[in-house]
Homo-oligomer: A and B are copies of this chain.
Amino acid sequence: MTEQEYLQTYNAKAFDSPLLSIDAVLFSYHDKQLKVLLVKRSNHPEKGKWGLPGGFVDQTKDRNLEDTVVRKLREKTGVTPPYLEQLETIGNSHRDRRGWSVTVCYTALMSYQKCQVYVDAVSDAQWVETNKLTELELAFDHAHIIEIGRERLKQKALYTIVPAFSLSETFTFSELQHVHETLIGKPIQKKSFRRRIEQADLLIDTGEKRSETGRPAILYRVKPSAGNHTFLRNLEL
């Protein structure tokens, strides 16, 4: 039998294959709070519960898994997130009552303001503060997945400035430090924090300033390449 013949007679449905989905943990930082986007499930199973945005691969629309994630996130937020990273794939026989199920999870970050209007218009989507998640009963193992995403982002806060992508387009040094502190769960020496970021040259000075009370702060923008930079030395936990 040649490969040609094999492929012609191949039938994907002949095998029992696990259910395959993607899920996205989309974080944003707003009002001094880390928030995660949740979606109310309109269909069975776990209908009515809140869960992560996600769904199934559309083999006609999606060329790869990232396409699927981006498509699902655009449905709920209207925009493509500036930071998207694969988190972990969870697959087992008990996470979904329909049977053996595999979900490829992603962590995404985006600006709250960039999609606030859109999210408000989508009736089944909302931002939830990460420290109020215990009040909700989430679908499937989504609470666990969010925890993994948060843990990963915490690690990133120690040796990258990836969390910058959870802020609005322009932001102050203090705001960035705040997200990091929220993630790490511990104050950071501002001098240390500024020094390493300045040395690595990861931000662009927009020239503008923002003043609320006190001395006005310079507004920065992340360099596009900043998402890939890793410091040689971690901040201490």
Bound state CA distance, A86 and B86, in angstroms?
A: 11
Nearest Cβ distance between residue A202 and chain B, in whole angstroms? 17
List the interface of chain A (C-beta within 8 A of B).
Answer: 1, 3, 6-7, 10, 12-13, 15-20, 44-47, 56-57, 59, 62-65, 86, 88-94, 97-100, 102, 104, 232-234, 236
Q: Roughly how many angstroms separate A47 CA and B64 CA in the complex, as a whole number?
A: 25
Q: Is the CB of B18 within 8 A of A18?
A: no
A95 to chain B, nearest CB (A): 9
Instruction: From B59, B63, B89, give the contact of A99 (CB < 8 A).
Output: B59
Q: Are A63 and B92 in contact (CB-based, < 8 A)?
A: yes
Q: How far is the CA of A62 from the CA of B18 in the complex (A)?
A: 11
Say yes or no: A65-B10 contact (C-beta < 8 A), given A57-B91, A232-B236.
Answer: no
Q: Add 14 more A-B contacts to A7-B98, A12-B98, A91-B104 (CB < 8 A).
A: A3-B44, A6-B44, A12-B16, A17-B20, A17-B56, A17-B57, A57-B102, A62-B93, A63-B92, A65-B89, A65-B92, A86-B88, A86-B89, A233-B234
Docked CA distance A17–B72 (Å): 17
Residue pairs across A and B with Cβ atoms less than 8 A apart, 29 shown, are A3-B44, A3-B45, A3-B47, A3-B97, A7-B44, A7-B45, A7-B97, A7-B98, A10-B98, A12-B16, A12-B98, A12-B99, A15-B56, A16-B59, A17-B17, A17-B20, A18-B57, A18-B59, A20-B20, A57-B91, A59-B93, A59-B99, A62-B93, A86-B88, A86-B89, A91-B104, A102-B104, A104-B104, A233-B234
